[in-house]
């Protein structure tokens, strides 16, 4: 078994000089960068003179925004911590999301996304576009649907609302109210403005989408063409549903085929 030998080849004077020159240039370049950064980031240089806000402001108070950003005016354009600024602005009521960007040479642009109310929830509460529940006593907002359900179920109710709304919209009905009970049963209130009709719809706890589809098909083909207005329908039947007219006291079963 032979021993391996290592052979060292000495660098020539030319190679050594080139390596030292490269190292020197690298050191000088790094030093130049540090000096440039130190100059640029000096607090009294490149001050921010303007901060503009972009967004639709229905509930967010601009005075609250201005108060939050006031400490940043006059600070160095490059040294401002944009993430810290965004976090501070998100603490303001009704602010859903924030993004801050630099606009050369001396301006910051703040884009504000405001929370939007999409439904009334139980008593004096509201659901936002982010499916969060907020309590706003005394607030009056017309035109929003009313949702009801156990605490923490607003996301499920939102999902069902969109599913049921799409089915009813195909036959000219608009969903106004959706209720999800503690026992898991669903009940709707919808209206048809062309027929001056407001209908209570009981879906029950199972096969809700199939039951509502069955009703919508019958409504579009038959019920909508009748002279009487609907008052209530009970869809908790295996092969049909019960109908109550606004001028008839007793329920009349209808076969859905």
So what CATH class is 50-114?
alpha beta
pLDDT-derived band at 171, boundaries 50, 70, 90: very high
Mean pLDDT along residues 172-196 = 95
Least confident of 77-81, 166-170, 221-225: 221-225
pLDDT band at 48 (very low <50, low <70, confident <90, very high): very high
Please, how many CA atoms are within 13 Å of residue 178, restricted to the half-sphere of its CB? 25
What pLDDT, on the 0 to 100 scale, is given for residue 32? Answer: 58
Select 118-255's CATH number: 3.60.40.10, 3.40.50.920, 3.40.50.11690, 3.60.10.10.
Answer: 3.40.50.11690
Per-residue pLDDT averaged across 162-176, rounded? 96
Q: Is the pLDDT of residue 254 over 60?
A: no
Distance CA 86, CA 112 (A): 10
Candidate ranges 10-14, 36-40, 46-50, 172-176; pick with highest mean pLDDT: 172-176
Structure tokens at 115: 């929370």
The residue among 230, 153, 228 whose CA lies nearest residue 189 is 230
**What is the pLDDT averaged over residues 147-155?**
96
- Whether 154 shows a pLDDT value over 60: the answer reads yes
Question: How high does pLDDT run on average in the chain?
Answer: 85
* CB-facing half-sphere around the CA of 107: CA atoms within 13 A: 8
Lowest mean pLDDT segment, chosen from 143-152, 178-187, 238-247: 238-247
pLDDT of residue 257: 46
Mean per-residue pLDDT for 57-81? 91
Confidence (pLDDT) at 250 = 44
Identify the residue with better confidence: 8 or 66.
66
pLDDT at 49: 93
CA distance 25 to 23: 5
DSSP 197-220: EEEEEEEESS-HHHHHHHHHHHHH
> β-pairing, 197-204 with 230-234?
parallel
């Amino acid at each position: 078994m032979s021993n391996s030998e290592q052979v060292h080849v000495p660098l020539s004077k030319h190679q050594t000089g080139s390596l030292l020159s490269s190292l020197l240039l690298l050191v000088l370049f790094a030093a130049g960068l540090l000096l440039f950064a130190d100059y640029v980031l000096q607090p009294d240089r490149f001050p921010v003179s303007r901060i503009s806000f972009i967004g639709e402001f229905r509930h967010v108070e601009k005075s609250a925004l201005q108060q939050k950003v006031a400490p940043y005016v006059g600070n160095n354009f490059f040294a401002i911590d944009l993430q810290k600024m965004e976090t501070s602005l998100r603490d303001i009521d009704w602010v859903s999301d924030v993004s801050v960007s630099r606009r050369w040479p001396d301006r910051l642009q703040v884009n504000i996304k405001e929370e939007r109310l999409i439904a009334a929830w139980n008593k004096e509460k509201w659901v936002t576009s982010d499916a969060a529940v907020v309590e706003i006593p005394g607030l009056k907002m017309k035109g929003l649907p009313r949702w009801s359900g156990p605490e923490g179920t607003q996301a499920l109710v939102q999902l069902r609302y969109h599913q049921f709304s799409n089915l009813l919209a195909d036959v000219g009905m608009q969903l106004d109210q959706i209720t999800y009970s503690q026992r898991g049963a669903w009940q709707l209130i919808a209206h048809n403005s062309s027929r001056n009709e407001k209908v209570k719809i009981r879906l029950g706890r199972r096969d809700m989408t199939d039951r509502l589809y069955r009703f919508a098909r019958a409504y579009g083909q038959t019920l909508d063409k009748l002279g009487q207005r609907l008052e209530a329908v009970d869809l908790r039947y295996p092969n049909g549903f019960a109908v109550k007219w606004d001028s008839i006291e007793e329920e009349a079963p209808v076969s859905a085929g």
